Amino acid sequence: MTLNTFNLPDVGEGLTEAEIVQWKVQPGSVVAINDIIVEIETAKSLVELSSPYAGVVAALLATEGETVDVGSPIISVADGDDDAPAPQMPGELSTPPATTHPSGATDASATRVAAADGGQRTDTQESPEAGPLVGTGPKADAVKRRPRRTDAAPLQAPDPQPAPPADGAQAATRVLAKPPVRKAARDLGINLSDVEGTGRSGEVTKRDLMSYQAQRDAEQDGANTFWDAPQKPQDQRIERVPVRGVRKATAKAMVDSAFSAPHVSIFVDVDASRTMEFVKRLKASRDFEGIKVSPLLILCKAVIWAAARNPSVNATWAGDEILVKHFMNLGIAAATPRGLMVPNIKDAQDLTLKELAIALNELATTARAGKTQPAQMQGGSLTVTNIGALGIDTGTPIINPGEVAIVAFGTIKQKPWVLDGEVIPRWITTLGGSFDHRVVDGDLSARFMADVASILEEPALLLD
């Protein structure tokens, strides 16, 4: 029997870690190549990983809810079930047994090489007949680990009082633990040398760490004095939410953008009455039957049209040069149960109005289901955020990193409006635009926003 270890792959460009959301298998489960084994949450989306091996699940090496670094082992699969190890309790961390091959290498080292050569799964659309999957993620040895002790001790009685290290190093430097366990220990402020390891070869497992923490908390509670008592009810009223996944990625992106790109924002009120009439006609049209149509569709078309007339708003600041894009990957900021996501519609400039409507519907459905893939959020050109859907009039949006412009679409509602010298009720909205002032000057931003507004005021201009 050979144990094959599957390391967490980089399923998106630049991914460094992911959270284990749900295991689809348990120790003892029989899996085939390309069977779904786990659902993970990357910085922006949920991704299902398939097994690159066929056999019996020997161990789950990461627990649900745990954040794992790319390149770290997450599951081991035995190539046969005759000598497969006994199933573990679900979620228990373990280390695969190391057996010696004729070459002198152990299963543990051999499986790390196998994972580096063919165990990194990135393409979830691979067909079952395609054979073993070859990935593009970092190799297993890209993650620094403490060397495993493999030298066998001679058969003799143990020294009842082993001599201390010659260099005076503390015993803590020899504690065995996986990287996720070490990270958890650092977060909890626990010295691993104080924790008794129950894993194979005395390794400290996640269960050992949690047991030690529970014991420490109990001792701390017992040591609390009378003066601590009034503070307990207040502490219980505070909910601590870990910053990870979508929230962690969004926070980093917004900080990077806000404090690297000098933002300038401008606003314009727009009479969108003809857009509302146009949308009403589209909804009644047989060509758009079964397709959701909203004013956002017209705004998106207006942004594409205006960017073609003002190309520098569709660009990226690259330090010593500006990259002007003559294509439009239109980003749509989507509020989902998992947080803010900004997938984009590739080559939106080539789509008809109907095709753009279909693409918007598919993007929204996928985002709300949390199934947006990392590739769908890469390579954006310019972003639209529909804050009007929440009843907000306008705002100052933060530019999506890698772009130089973003347009906020406020709510459309009837307001008094002066038309031909008369005050009459019209459908009015407010557009807000934020721009990277390193690339987009005031004149350019004003012309771009005016072009967007002109389409909302008269959608027939799109037919020119």
- Domain 246-463 bears CATH identifier 3.40.50.300: no
User: Domain map of the chain by residue range?
Assistant: 3-139, 175-213, 246-463
What pLDDT does 48 receive? 87
State how far the Cα of 401 lies from the Cα of 404, in Å rounded to an integer. Answer: 8
Q: What is the pLDDT of residues 398-419, one digit of tens each?
A: 999 999 999 999 999 999 999 9
Percentage of the chain exceeding pLDDT 70: 74
CA-based nearest residue to 348, from 382, 398, 315: 382
DSSP lists the bridge partners of residue 264 as 435
Q: What is the pLDDT of residues 76-104, one digit of tens each?
A: 998 864 444 444 444 444 444 444 444 44
Kindly state the average pLDDT of the residues 100-122.
41
Q: ∠ CA 53-378-247 to the nearest 5 degrees? A: 85
What token pair was written down for 172?
């803590």
Give residues with Cβ within 8 angstroms of 292, minimum separation 6.
357, 360, 361
State how far the Cα of 30 lies from the Cα of 51, in Å rounded to an integer. Answer: 11
Q: Would the pTM of this model clear 0.75, i.e. be above it?
A: no
437 annotated active-site: yes
Q: What is the pLDDT of residues 245-295, one digit of tens each?
A: 777 777 888 888 888 889 999 999 999 999 999 999 999 999 999 999 999
Fold of 3-139: OB fold (Dihydrolipoamide Acetyltransferase, E2P) (2.40.50)
Check if 175-213 and 246-463 are the same fold: no
Catalytic pick among 101, 263, 326, 437 = 437
pLDDT over 90 at 116, yes or no = no
State how far the Cα of 126 lies from the Cα of 16, in Å rounded to an integer. Answer: 23
User: 175-213 belongs to which CATH class?
Assistant: few secondary structures
174-210: string of b/e by CB count within 10 Å (b at 16+)?
A: ebbbbbbbbbbbeeeebebeebebebeeebbbbbbbe
Give residues with Cβ within 8 angstroms of 405, minimum separation 6.
313, 314, 382, 383, 399, 433, 434, 435, 436, 440, 445, 448
Question: Coil, helix or strand for 321?
Answer: coil
Contact (Cβ atoms closer than 8 angstroms) between residue 220 and residue 232: no
Contact (Cβ atoms closer than 8 angstroms) between residue 264 and residue 443: no
